[in-house]
Amino acid sequence: MDMLKIARLEEGRQAEALRELADDHLPVGGGTAGLGEPGSWLNNAVGVGLDGPVTGADVDRIIEWYESAGIEPRVELCPFAHESFIAALAARGFVVRSFESVLFRELDPREPVRPAFEPPAGLVVKRVDPADEAEVREFARVGSSGFLPPGMTEWPPEHIEIAMRSARHPRTIGLMAMLDGRCVGAGGMGLHDHVAALFGLSVLPEFRRRGIQQAIIAARLNIAAERGLRIATIGSRPGAPTERNVRRMGYQTAYVKAIVVRPGSGLAPNLG
């Protein structure tokens, strides 16, 4: 499998998602910068530099756009980005904050995916009804619960609203894991061209380590395969439980990207 091709598909998918979900967006350097409320994961530039050289003026546009909104400039730097983009970021004081692994696996409807561990008896994985307000809200709440920054006990309402907006998107499929009538886990999947991108999977703390995450992963992969998609991707912090779980289910690393930011006094950082 050509990793550059996977990068173009995955970064292009993320750029399109920003264009459709963010409050505002800026086309720049062949990619997209998104804008949302302070602290939102939508405040992020992706796909920049994959189509060729990026000028210093392009990077200045990213900086000015975010800083004028009081938000810390943040870029997901793909390792296949043109070297001119890397140099321009370094020259303007961007620093590495974290890394993200992008993993992938091929899909075949003739080979259903099964969890590596048997889930609890009675667990039901169901599709989210985008027209059901209460169901969409519960999906958003549970699905984002595992990504809370240290010191936070719940996401602010505007963050939940963004997750709900994503769940209602026509190319999104949301799944909820139900046990004894309670939603104990949730995860989404975005469909784009040939790619099914898994995102936002969380299991409530008291139900972890019981195979529920893998059940949700398997269900999403099988739905994608049945719809004719042939590649599934997922992002994870290197070494995180998500990465370990998907490796057990046939995923391998496509590339690792750096999350770079330009800190500044009074600028709101990204919390997601």
CA–CA dist 33, 76 (Å, integer) = 10
Query: Quick check: 225 and 194 in contact, CB under 8 A?
Result: no
DSSP 147: G
Strands 195-203 vs 231-236: parallel, antiparallel or unpaired:
parallel
Nearest to 10 by CA among 71, 80, 68: 80
Amino acid (one-letter) located at 52:
G
CA–CA dist 239, 260 (Å, integer) = 19
DSSP 125: E
Q: What is the pLDDT of residue 151?
A: 78
Q: Any idea where the domains of the chain sit in the sequence?
A: 3-101+256-261, 108-229
CB atoms within 10 A of CB 134: 8
Residue 153 — very low, low, confident or very high, per pLDDT cuts 50/70/90? Answer: confident
**Lowest mean pLDDT across 7-16, 62-71, 95-104, 148-157:** 148-157
Cα→Cα distances 118→106, 108, 127, 146, 169, Å: 22, 22, 20, 22, 31
pLDDT tens across 107-137, in order? 999 999 998 888 999 999 999 999 999 999 9
Q: What share of the chain is helix, strand, coil (3-state, %, to 5)?
A: 35, 30, 35
Nearest to 81 by CA among 258, 231, 237, 243: 258
Q: What is the pLDDT of residue 138?
A: 96
DSSP 95: E
The domain 108-229 having CATH identifier 3.40.50.1820: the answer here is: no
Residue 146 — very low, low, confident or very high, per pLDDT cuts 50/70/90? Answer: confident
Q: What is the pLDDT of residue 81?
A: 97
Same fold flag, 3-101+256-261 and 108-229: yes
Work out the mean pLDDT of the chain and round it to a whole number: 93
Helices within 126-211 (DSSP H only): 133-144, 157-168
Cα→Cα distances 137→41, 67, 189, Å: 18, 31, 16
**Lowest mean pLDDT across 36-50, 150-164, 232-246:** 150-164
For the record, the structure tokens of 119 come out as 């889930």
Helix, strand or coil, per DSSP, at residue 157: helix
pLDDT tens across 25-50, in order? 999 999 999 999 888 889 999 999 99
Angle between helices 3-21 and 157-168 (to 10 degrees): 110
Query: Quick check: 107 and 230 in contact, CB under 8 A?
Result: yes
CA–CA dist 176, 89 (Å, integer) = 40
Percent of the chain with pLDDT over 70: 99
Q: What is the pLDDT of residue 112?
A: 92
CA–CA dist 52, 195 (Å, integer) = 23
Q: What is the pLDDT of residue 41?
A: 86
pLDDT over 70 (residue 271): no
Residue 272 — very low, low, confident or very high, per pLDDT cuts 50/70/90? Answer: low
Instruction: Classify residue 211 as left (phi > 0), alpha (psi -120 to 50) or beta.
Output: left
The domain 3-101+256-261 having CATH identifier 3.90.190.10: the answer here is: no
pLDDT over 80 (residue 214): yes
